[in-house]
Amino acid sequence: QQQELIRNFSIIAHIDHGKSTLADRILEYTGALSNREKQDQYLDTMDLERERGITIKLQSVRLPYKAKDGKEYIINLIDTPGHVDFAYEVSRSLAACEGALLVVDAAQGVEAQTMANVYLALENDLEILPVINKVDLPSAEPERVKEEIEDLIGLDASEAVHASAKEGIGTEEILEQIVEKVPPPSGDPDSPLKALIYDSIYDSYRGVITYIRVVDGSIRKGMKVRMMATGKEFEVTDVGVFTPKPVSKDELAVGEVGFMVASIKDVKVTRVGDTITDANHPASEPLPGYRKINPMVFCGMYPVDSGDYDDLREALEKLELNDASLRYEPETSGALGFGFRCGFLGLLHMEVIQERIEREYNIPLITTAPSVVYKVYKTDGELLEIENPTLMPPQQQIDHVEEPFVRATMMVPNDFVGAVMELCQSKRGEYVDMQYLDANRVNIVYELPLAEIVYDFFDQLKSGTKGYASFDYELSGYKTSDLVKMDILLNGEPVDALSFIVHKERAYYRGRQLVEKLKKLIPRQMFEVPVQAAIGNKVVARETIRAQRKNVLAKCYGGDISRKRKLLEKQKEGKKRMKAVGNVEVPQEAFMAVLQMD
C-alpha cells in the first residue's frame, strides 16, 4: 500500500550549517534536479533570499527514491524558514512531517538555533536524525559534536551520518536512514478530510496556491472544501505535487504533501496552521496547534516623495497578498506626511519588506524607528494597545504601562560570559539561568524587554563576543515597566516621527545621546536649529545645529560647468533621503538614530 512508502521530513539546522547545500545534494541524488535546472540553492527562490542566504518562503519537493530494500519510496522534503522571526511557520512545516534531519556543523557544534529547532521538532513528535555535516573541514570534530548532541539534546547520536554536503559524502546513507527510521504517515484514509496548511503564496495567474499536507482522508479536484479557522469555503480547481516543478494530480491521498488551488484571492483566508476539511463531510475537530500570529514590531513607512504614496499603497497591497503576517494601515505624521504604519513578525521580516519595496517597486522610503506594542492602562480604566509612540496619552492619564518581554537564549564560549551578562544587564535584562554545556561553552538565559532587542542588541552581542554568540528568543509575556515618552523638538517644534518610548531611568541618558547624534546627522541649514529632547513639557537635553555659512557652489570658481553640475547632482543625490520637517531638512538616518546608541 502506498501510504507505507511515503516519508515526510524536513531539515533543521543553525544558520550556515549547510541545510540548503544538503537539500541540493538530496535533490541531485534522487534525480529531481537535472544539471540544466541546477541553480546554486534550489529551495531558496527569491533573489533577496539568495542574497541574504536565508529561507523565507517554505517549499516542498517530492522525490522518488529506490531504497536498498528494493522498494520505491516517495520522499517529501519540506523546507523550513531559518530565522527566529518565522518560528511559527517553522513549527507548522514541521507539523507536516514525521521526521527531521538535524544538521550540525562538525566544526561549530550545537548552537542556539539548533536547540530552538530541536524543541520545535520534539513538540511535533518527530523522529530526529542527527547529521554531522562538513566533515571535510580540517577543523571538523565529529566525535566531539556527537557527544554534544547527546549531552545537550539527549538524542542518541551513535548512528549520526558523517556527511559533507559540499562534497556529496553521506547522501545515500541519509536517504536510507530516512526510509528506515522515519515512520510512514499514520493518517486514516477513510476519515473526513483533514489537510494542514503549512504555507500559501499568491500567484497572479492562479490566485492563492496553498501548500498542504493531507493528514486524514483525501482531497480531489472539484471537491468543496472549508478552511476551519476562517470558515471560508471554496471549490478545489487543482491539486498536485512539486517535483520540484508543479505537476497536477487527480487527488492527494492520505499522507501526501503538495499544493491546492481553489480560486482564492487572499492569503489571509488560508492561514498557516489552519485545517482544510471537506465542506460536505467536515471533520469534527481541526488539527491541533493553530495560532493566529500577531506582528510584534511596528514602524512607520513614508515615501520620500509624497507623490509615491499611491504606489507605496499598491506595493504593500501586493506584498500582503503573499504575506499573511504583514499588516499595514494608513497613518499621518506631522513631520513625514502621509504614509503607513506597518506591523512585522520581527526585525528581519521588517528589513526584508523595506528592501523589497525599495528594490522591486522602486520607492525610496523614510522609515521610522521600530517600536513594539505597549499596553497602556489609563487611570479611567481604558486599555490602549499602542504601536506608535506618538499615540501615547499624556503621563497624567496613565495608570501604568506594560511592555513585551522575551526569553532570550544565548550560547557563547566561556570567555565571553562576563561581556554577555553585562550587555543583558545594560538592556534591563533579568537573569534566568546559566548552564555550562561543556568545558568551553555556556548557555545563558535572560528575560529581556523586546524593545531593547529591537534596538541593536544582536549587533552588540555579536561584536561583544567576536561573532561567537548564537542567539534565539521567544515572546514570554507582558510586564509592567516604568516607561515614558520622549519627544524630540527641532526648531522648537515636536517631530512626531522622532518620538520614542524609553525606560524612565535611562530617559535622560538616551535623550542626551540622541540630540548629540541628531546634531551630527542633520546637515547645517541656512539658519540655526535647536534640537531638544523633552519628557512632557520638560526639556532634558539640548544641542544647536549652527547655521551654514557658505553655499556649496561658492567653492566652484568661474565657469566650470561640469563640476558645478556634478556638485548639484551630488547634492540632489544626498537630498533623496531628506525630508523637509517644517523648514528643516532631515535625513533618513535621523529617524533611525535612536537605534544606534549606547
Q: Which residues bind ligand GTP (CB under 6 A)?
A: 13, 15-21, 53-55, 82, 133-134, 136-137, 164-166
18 is in an annotated binding site: yes
**Torsional sign, CA 44, 50, 52, 53:** positive
Q: CB nearer to ligand GTP: give 11 or 283.
A: 11
76 is in an annotated binding site: no
Single-letter residue type at 130: P
The least distance separating ligand GTP from the CB of residue 22, rounded to whole angstroms, comes to 7
136 is in an annotated binding site: yes
The least distance separating ligand GTP from the CB of residue 117, rounded to whole angstroms, comes to 11
Q: CB nearer to ligand GTP: give 83 or 427.
A: 83
Q: What three-state secondary structure class fits 248?
A: strand
Single-letter residue type at 21: T
20 is in an annotated binding site: yes
Give, in degrees to the nearest 5, the angle at Cα 563 between 558 and 565: 105
Report d(CA 196, CA 101) in Å as an integer: 21
Angle between helices 19-29 and 171-181 (to 10 degrees): 90
The least distance separating ligand GTP from the CB of residue 161, rounded to whole angstroms, comes to 12
Q: CB nearer to ligand GTP: give 161 or 372.
A: 161
Q: CB nearer to ligand GTP: give 169 or 432.
A: 169
The least distance separating ligand GTP from the CB of residue 27, rounded to whole angstroms, comes to 13
The least distance separating ligand GTP from the CB of residue 167, rounded to whole angstroms, comes to 6
Q: CB nearer to ligand GTP: give 133 or 371.
A: 133
Q: CB nearer to ligand GTP: give 43 or 521.
A: 43
Q: In DSSP terms, which residues pair with 74 in a beta bridge? A: 6, 64
The least distance separating ligand GTP from the CB of residue 20, rounded to whole angstroms, comes to 3
Alpha carbon 351 to chain centroid, angstroms: 9
Lookup result for grid cell 535533490: 27
The least distance separating ligand GTP from the CB of residue 181, rounded to whole angstroms, comes to 22
Report d(CA 113, CA 80) in Å as an integer: 13
HEC string of 493-520? EECHHHCEEEEHHHHHHHHHHHHHHHHH
The least distance separating ligand GTP from the CB of residue 296, rounded to whole angstroms, comes to 21
Grid cell listed for 126: 518527530
Buried b (16+ CB within 10 A) or exposed e, 466-502: eebbbbbbeeeeeeebebbbbbbbbbeeebbbbbbbb
Q: CB nearer to ligand GTP: give 21 or 333.
A: 21
Angle between helices 309-321 and 347-360 (to 10 degrees): 120
Decide: residue 329, CB within 10 A, 0-12 exposed, 13-18 middle, 19+ buried: exposed
Q: CB nearer to ligand GTP: give 298 or 471.
A: 471
135 is in an annotated binding site: yes
16 is in an annotated binding site: yes
Q: In DSSP terms, which residues pair with 66 in a beta bridge? A: 72
466 is in an annotated binding site: no
Report d(CA 593, CA 578) in Å as an integer: 14
Report d(CA 595, CA 598) in Å as an integer: 9
Q: CB nearer to ligand GTP: give 20 or 388.
A: 20
The least distance separating ligand GTP from the CB of residue 53, rounded to whole angstroms, comes to 4
268 is in an annotated binding site: no
**According to DSSP H, which parts of 30-152 are helical?**
47-52, 87-95, 112-123, 142-148
Single-letter residue type at 520: K
104 is in an annotated binding site: no
Binding-site annotation, residues: 16-21, 133-136
Annotated binding site for GTP: 16-21, 133-136
